[in-house]
Each structure stands twice: as structure tokens, then as C-alpha cells.
Chains A and B, each alone.
Chain A
Amino acid sequence: MASDNVPLNGEGPALELRDVEVVYERRGRERVRAVAGASLTVERGQIVGLVGESGCGKSSLARASVGLVPAAGGSVLFESREVTPLTRRARPRELARLQMVFQNPYSSLNPRRRIGSQLADALDVLDLAAPRERRARVEELLDLVGLPASAAARYPHQFSGGQRQRIAVARALAADPSVLVLDEPLASLDASAQAQVANLLVDLSRRLSLSLLLISHDLAIVRHVADVVSVMYLGVMVETGPARSLWSLPLHPYTEALIGAVPHPDGSGFLPEALPGEVPDPAHPPAACRFHPRCPYAFDRCSKETPVTLAIESERTVACWLQAGGSPPARPGERPQPLPLLHAEE
């Protein structure tokens, strides 16, 4: 039951992360701040893509956004309601409309149970369908993700990777969610299956007014799917903007590097640019701008002061000192020097 100070559904963004921190502590190990104050907003019905390299904290942020890991700082709001970390007790019923889909459906689906019973479980746990309606609802869920009703009688191993991912989406849809957080739902699928699942997600979002937070390392596919893209580097958000303008004019050098690394399927033999170095150990992040040791444009200020997040134009934000003077971003043609190949520093 909603208490008095909680706004009704229909107010506020679908999902709002404010200065979220995720910290992992283990006895005898160093404290790791995987997410170091990251903010992100998913408006209702919007598809937001969150991209970055492995180790940038995007999966930790995804987990924090559904309460799978506690946020050590900041706040996570689902339709203006605080998302509380999972405990042994049943989670508040309202939070069931915030669902998550994981990268590998082969490990999130039970290999020994039929698809139909796994979908029925998801309905039963929330009492969403009377026993008489259950079968029809399962068929409806399968139909939503483009699978035939006969799929209910089969086991996970009888499906291809793309189909299994669609089943995982169907199970999340069983809870009648308003927000889906998807952690790398397209990785490990081949091109055609990837296109099928990507198109399905866009279609579901539009048809069911579903808001999506789509986590992916593949900026090229995210651009096709998302309305807004946030780029994360080593626990912080470096740039956010509408997918199209972010892709055509990246403001942060890291965004530019991610785009430059995408190979083009045009037969030209274009060799993508390799960003030198690796994502540093989050237990020992570089001082000031966390990207400065790998940044081809870094200057004095970048290693001394942490860049503030600047609002550029109406819908874009970027955390980069290059933008602070209002000067245009350096373009690839104006690089001070070509990026060295696989720079020899870790």
C-alpha cells in the first residue's frame, strides 16, 4: 500500500538514479567503488542505452537499479518510489513492476522445467492469473515475444540463443512491468538473432509503453535501439545525449573512441581505431578525470581537477574539460597525434 508521501503512479520518471554509488567490500581485500556517483533518468516509455567497456560498472549500476545490490550512496527511484535492496523478505509488491533480464538466458532459465511452467511460476508468485487463465496468459506472453504457443511444452535447450533470450523477456513481462532493465541482452547472439531481439525490444517498448534501460558494450546496436544513450567510464557517467546526436557528434573523447572502434561492414577494409590501454582497476582509479591517462586530448587540468558535468544544448550532458571553455570538440581530423596502437601501459 502506498503511504501518504509517495506520489501516485503517473508522476515522475520511470526510473531515476541519482549519484548512485556501488561499493564492494570483502575482508582482506581492497574496497572497490564500482559505481562512483552515477546519475541517469529513464522517462516513461523511453529506451535508454547504457554503454561502456567491461569493468566500467554498468552491470553494477544495472543491479543497483533493481535492488539486487544495495546502493552505498545516492538514490534509486522507480516511479518516484525508493527501490530498496533485496532482502530475505518478499519485496514490496509495487516493485514487481520493475523487472530485470540477464545476459545469459541459459543460466537464468531452469534447464529441467518446461517453458510453460517457468512462465506460470512468474505469474503465480504475484497471483497475476487465476489457475483457469494461466494457460491463456502463458500463450499470450509467448505471442508477445513472437514464439508459438507450442513453445510452452518445450525445454530451454530446444531453443536457439535468440529464442531463449526472448523467453527470458517473456518471463520478465509476466509481472506486467512498466520498466525492464536488460543487462547485455544482445551479447553472445549472432547478427541475425541480435537484430530479431533488438527489434522485439523496440516493438514491445512502443506497444506496451514499457520503459527500457538497456545495458550493452555495443554502441552500434544501442544507437539503433535507444532514444537516449549514456556512456559510462570507470564508475562515472561521462556523456549522455539523444542517440542520434551523440553518435554523429560525440562530445567526450571516450565516446569518440568507442565509436571509432566500431568496424564498418562495408567491404572497405577500414581498420577500426584501438583505444590505447585498458580500463584501470576501479580500486585505484586515476585522479581527477578518470579517463585522462587514455585520452588523446588530455591537458594539465585533466589530471588535476575532476571535470564537472556540463549541460550542452538542450538534452546533452558531458563531463570533460575540453567542453568547459565552450570550444568545439576536437574532431578526428584535428587529432594532436594519431592514437598509438595498443599502448604499453596498463
Chain B
Amino acid sequence: MTALLEVEGLRVRLPTPRGFATVVDGIDYHVEPAQVFGVAGESGSGKTMSMLALLGLLPPGAVVEGRAAFGGKDLLRLRGRELRAVSGRDIGMVFQDPMTSLHPMLTIGQQLTEHMRRHLGLGRRAAGDRAVELLDQVRIPGPRSALHAYPHQFSGGMRQRIAIAIALACGPRLLIADEPTTALDVTVQAGILRLLDRLRREHDLSVVLITHDLAVMSSIADRISIFYAGRVVESGRRDELLRRPRHPYTRALLDALPHPEAARDTPLVAIKGAPPSPQQIPPGCRYHPRCPYAIEVCTMDDPPLVPTDGRRLACHVDPFADGE
């Protein structure tokens, strides 16, 4: 299967008062059609920056290297109008907080039809009809009257569904969803996850799902990459990665989660310390200062990401190679 998006050697450097900070440091991944690709990791691991780089949405002064092949073009080489033609139409983006991505003073209808008219060249009536169809697709009750309402008139879960409808307006092939359910109740989160799953199955939509929550990942991602301090430490199929995690960091992320079937007295296992800041990346394996399995080589050599047992893994020790 040919990949819809193929990213190679992505590197993002951001200007800071003390020189450049490398926040994404050489990342490769691909997204296949009608698949959900999960990007997981703690805050500050470079998850969001690696996606913003594709859409040209990085802060001014940022330096991007690498290649991102999408529909025969390299997204990282496109500028201005060319980039907007691709990213506005073929790539949709949903952010964590719908209240910041929706305009508070424009009606839902205005926000939904604006880029359909621009990118698809639809007339007012045709755009309006499609807007109703989209709201219906994301299960907003009374879609026709919803067009005339403002964002504050909806609950958090409905706003996020509206933000998804807007992202889908021009019929994108790829949807990038950055922590789309983090601010929502579990009951509403379940609805959004089911919606994304349906869009993938019925409309062949590919989704890049960015989240720190491996439980969310487990319900809809097909493949997952675990980010740590701007690098991928492990990537592979959902079931492989979550049932038999091989990188100590993947394992630690899972152990920190409350598991629905665990006994109540099982304490949650927190990872000691905090991720390094981009200015203070440790030598060797970036995870070694927090890793209980680190040995001497980990403090000196940066482990490469290599195919290991049906996945890619960057670990010198590989302590769970035998299944435990």
C-alpha cells in the first residue's frame, strides 16, 4: 500500500533567547490511507511541533529540515499560497481546545462554509447544504438551526464535534487531531473516538492522532509511535506495542495508567523525574536519566531506531525481549 504521508528525517529547531533548541530531532513515519496513526508521549516530547511543521504553522524563525511527501509534493518545500492550497483542502486539523480554534463571534455556519467556498468554489446555497450534511455527520442535533448559532451555545463535546466538522469541510484525506479528547468527559470522549473510527471506516479518512493517553490510543490507533524528547523510541502496531511494550519508556507510560481490570490496590507507577528540556538533552540515550534499566552504554551512545521483532525500537538494553 502506498503511504498517504511519508515523513523522513524531520527536524525542527526553534529560536530561543539562548540560541536554537532542537525540539524534533530526526523523525520518520508514514501514514497509510484509512488508518489511524498515533503519536504518543509526554508534554514537550515534540508531538505537536512535528505536526505543526507539516502545515507551516511553526512560530516565526523556526528551522525545518527533512521531507514530508504528501500527494506527490513535499509539504516542507511549499510556501504561502501553494501550501494553503494543499493544507487547507487536503489536510484538516483539530486542536485540544475547541474554544480557541472556533471564532467566538462568527456563527457555526460562517465558520463551516468559509473555506468550502474558498477551496471548493461552492456557492452560498451549495456550501450551506454541505454544512448541514457535515453537522449531521458529526451528529449535531438540529443541524440547520445549529448553523445560525454561536460556539458558546454548545457544550464542550459538541464544540469539538463542530471543530471536526469544520476540519472535514473540504473533504480532506488526512485529519491531524491534537489531543482532541483531552479536555472532554470520558462519556463525550467515547463519542468522539467512535466518530473518528466511523470516518476512517466509511470515508477512508486517514487520521494522525496525537495524545499522551495510551488508553485513548488503544481504542482506535492502528499504528503508534512513542515520542521522547524529540525522538521516536518505539513504533509499531497497536496490539504489539501495547500488549508487549519493549522500550522501558513505553512500558513506564503504560504502568502510569489506571487499568480498568487491575486490582484497586495496585499503585500507579509514576516515571521518576521529568522529560529534559530541549536545551538540556542528556548525552547517550535521552531517556537514560529516568530509566531503571540503564547501563553504562546508555549514558554514552545514542541508540538507533532499528527493526526489532515486528516493530522499531531504540534501546541498548531491551530488557523485555523475553516477554518479561
Contacts and interface: CB of A to CB of B under 8 A. Distances in A.
Interface of A: 53-55, 160-163, 188, 190-196, 198-199, 202, 217-221, 223-224, 243-244, 247, 257-275, 278-279, 341-342, 344-346
Nearest to B249: A192
A175 B240 CA distance: 49
Given A54-B156, A261-B187, A271-B220, A344 B141 contact: yes
Contact of A190 (B157, B212, B259, B262): B212
Contacts of A341: 139, 191, 194, 198
B57 interface: no
18 contacts: A191-B212, A192-B256, A192-B270, A195-B269, A220-B186, A221-B258, A223-B264, A247-B264, A263-B189, A263-B213, A265-B254, A268-B239, A271-B219, A273-B190, A275-B191, A278-B158, A342-B194, A345-B141
**List of 7 A-B pairs having minimum Cβ-Cβ separation, nearest first:** A267-B242, A195-B268, A274-B191, A195-B270, A196-B270, A265-B215, A342-B139
B141 A346 contact: yes
A261 B268 contact: no
Chain B interface residue bracket vs A: 35 or more
Contact of B241 (A188, A264, A267, A269): A267
A136 B104 CA distance: 49
A247 B258 CA distance: 13
A161 to B, nearest CB: 7
Contacts of B157: 278
Given A196-B270, A278-B155, A342-B194, A191 B189 contact: no
Nearest to A221: B258
Contacts of A161: 43
Contacts of B259: 264-266
A344 B241 CA distance: 36
Contacts, number: 162
| Interface secondary structure of A, over-half rule | loop
Interface of B: 42-43, 139, 141-142, 155-158, 182-183, 185-191, 193-195, 197-198, 212-220, 238-243, 252-254, 256-262, 264, 266-271, 274
A224 B259 CA distance: 9
B186 A261 contact: yes
Given A196-B270, A217-B185, A263-B218, 14 more contacts: A55-B155, A192-B271, A195-B256, A199-B270, A202-B267, A264-B215, A264-B219, A265-B259, A266-B259, A267-B239, A267-B241, A268-B218, A269-B220, A274-B194
A261 B264 contact: no
Contacts of B243: 266-267
Contacts of B270: 192-193, 195-196, 199
